[in-house]
Amino acid sequence: MPSYTAPTKDMQFLLHDVLNVTGSQTPGYDELEAEFTGAVLEEAGKISSEVLTPLNAVGDSEGCRFENGVVYTPTGFKDAFEQMKEGGWTGLDMPEEYGGQNMPYVLGTAVGEMFSASNQAFTMYQGLTHGAASAILAHGSEQQKNTYLPKMVACEWTGTMNLTEPHCGTDLGLMRTKAEPQDDGSYKITGQKIFISAGEHDMADNIIHLVLAKITGGPEGIKGVSLFIVPKFHVNGDGSLGARNGVACGKIEEKMGIHGNSTCVMNYDGATGYLLGEEHKGMRAMFTMMNEARLGVGMQGLAQAEVAYQNALEYAKDRLQGRDVTGVKNPDGPADPLIVHPDIRRSLMEQKSFAEGARAFILWGATLIDAAHRAGDKDADGLVSLVTPVIKGFLTDIGYDMTVKAQQVYGGHGYIEEWGMSQFTRDARIAMIYEGANGVQALDLVGRKLAQDGGKHVMAFFELIKSFIKENSGDEAIDRDFMEPLKNASKDLQAAGMYFMANGMKNPNNALAGSNDFMHMFGHVCLGYMWARIALAAKAALDGGASDVAFYETKLATGRYYMARQLPMTTTHLARIETGAEPVMALDAANF
Amino acid sequence: MPSYTAPTKDMQFLLHDVLNVTGSQTPGYDELEAEFTGAVLEEAGKISSEVLTPLNAVGDSEGCRFENGVVYTPTGFKDAFEQMKEGGWTGLDMPEEYGGQNMPYVLGTAVGEMFSASNQAFTMYQGLTHGAASAILAHGSEQQKNTYLPKMVACEWTGTMNLTEPHCGTDLGLMRTKAEPQDDGSYKITGQKIFISAGEHDMADNIIHLVLAKITGGPEGIKGVSLFIVPKFHVNGDGSLGARNGVACGKIEEKMGIHGNSTCVMNYDGATGYLLGEEHKGMRAMFTMMNEARLGVGMQGLAQAEVAYQNALEYAKDRLQGRDVTGVKNPDGPADPLIVHPDIRRSLMEQKSFAEGARAFILWGATLIDAAHRAGDKDADGLVSLVTPVIKGFLTDIGYDMTVKAQQVYGGHGYIEEWGMSQFTRDARIAMIYEGANGVQALDLVGRKLAQDGGKHVMAFFELIKSFIKENSGDEAIDRDFMEPLKNASKDLQAAGMYFMANGMKNPNNALAGSNDFMHMFGHVCLGYMWARIALAAKAALDGGASDVAFYETKLATGRYYMARQLPMTTTHLARIETGAEPVMALDAANF
pLDDT tens per residue, range B230-248: 999 999 999 999 999 999 9
pLDDT tens per residue, range B321-373: 999 999 999 999 999 999 999 999 999 999 999 999 999 999 999 999 999 99
CA B58 to chain centroid: 23
What are the sequence ranges of the domains in chain A?
8-137, 157-281, 289-436, 450-584
DSSP letter, residue B197: E
With beta carbons less than 8 A apart as the criterion, state whether A205 and A232 touch.
Answer: no
Phi then psi for residue B125, to 5 deg, are -60, -45
pLDDT tens per residue, range B119-156: 999 999 999 999 999 999 999 999 999 999 999 999 99
pLDDT tens per residue, range B401-452: 999 999 999 999 999 999 999 999 999 999 999 999 999 999 999 999 999 9
The domain A157-281 is placed in CATH, from the list 2.40.110.20, 1.10.10.10, 3.40.50.2020, 3.40.50.720, at 2.40.110.20
With beta carbons less than 8 A apart as the criterion, state whether A102 and A93 touch.
Answer: yes
Question: Quick one: which H or E segment has residue B287?
Answer: helix B282-288
Segment A254-260 shows an average pLDDT of: 98
- DSSP reduced 3-state for A161: strand
> pLDDT category, A267, cuts 50, 70, 90?
very high
First to last CA, chain B: 45
**Domain A289-436, CATH:** 1.20.140.10
Among B43, B435, B553, B578, the active-site one is: B435
The span from the CA of B546 to the CA of B497, in Å, is 41
pLDDT tens per residue, range A145-175: 999 999 999 999 999 999 999 999 889 999 9
> pLDDT category, A51, cuts 50, 70, 90?
very high
* Cα-trace Rg, chain A: 24
Segment B192-202 shows an average pLDDT of: 98
Contact residues, A window 237-276, toward B, CB-based 8 Å cutoff? 253-257, 263
The span from the CA of B385 to the CA of B387, in Å, is 6
Q: Report how far apart, in Å, the C-alpha atoms of B40 and of each of A98, B34, B485 are.
A: 72, 10, 36
pLDDT of residue A336: 97
- DSSP reduced 3-state for A450: coil
Residue of A82, A83, A3 lying closest to A43 (CA atoms): A83
pLDDT tens per residue, range A292-324: 889 999 999 999 999 999 999 999 999 999 999
Whether A328 contacts chain B with CB within 8 A:
no
pLDDT of residue B288: 72
How high is the mean pLDDT of chain A? 97
With beta carbons less than 8 A apart as the criterion, state whether B155 and B122 touch.
Answer: no
Q: Has residue B289 got a pLDDT over 80?
A: no
Chain B CA closest to residue A428: B415
Question: Quick one: which H or E segment has residue A310?
Answer: helix A290-318
The ipTM value here is 0.97
> pLDDT category, B297, cuts 50, 70, 90?
very high
pLDDT of residue B146: 98
Whether A587 contacts chain B with CB within 8 A:
yes
Q: Chain A: nearest CA to B53, how far in angstroms?
A: 20
Q: Chain B: nearest CA to A351, how far in angstroms?
A: 11
pLDDT tens per residue, range B455-505: 999 999 999 999 999 999 999 999 999 999 999 999 999 999 999 999 998
Residue of A321, A334, A346 lying closest to B513 (CB–CB): A346
Residues of chain A positioned with their CB less than 8 A from the CB of B432: 408
Given the DSSP bridges, would you call strands B241-244 and A247-252 parallel, antiparallel or unpaired? unpaired
Q: Which contacts of A452-459 are long-range, i.e. CB under 8 A and separated by 24 or more positions?
A: A452/A382, A452/A385, A452/A386, A453/A382, A456/A382, A457/A382, A457/A383, A457/A385, A457/A386, A458/A386, A458/A497
CATH H-level superfamily of A8-137? Acyl-CoA dehydrogenase/oxidase, N-terminal domain (1.10.540.10)
pLDDT of residue A223: 94
Residue of A337, A512, A572 lying closest to B568 (CB–CB): A572
Q: Has residue A545 got a pLDDT over 80?
A: yes
Contact residues, A window 521-580, toward B, CB-based 8 Å cutoff? 550, 553-554, 557-558, 560-561, 564-565, 568-569, 571-572, 575-576, 579
Residue of A321, A146, A342, A336 lying closest to A235 (CA atoms): A146
One fold for both B8-137 and B289-436? no
- What's the predicted TM-score (pTM) here? 0.98
Segment A549-562 shows an average pLDDT of: 98
Residues of chain A positioned with their CB less than 8 A from the CB of B516: 343, 346-347
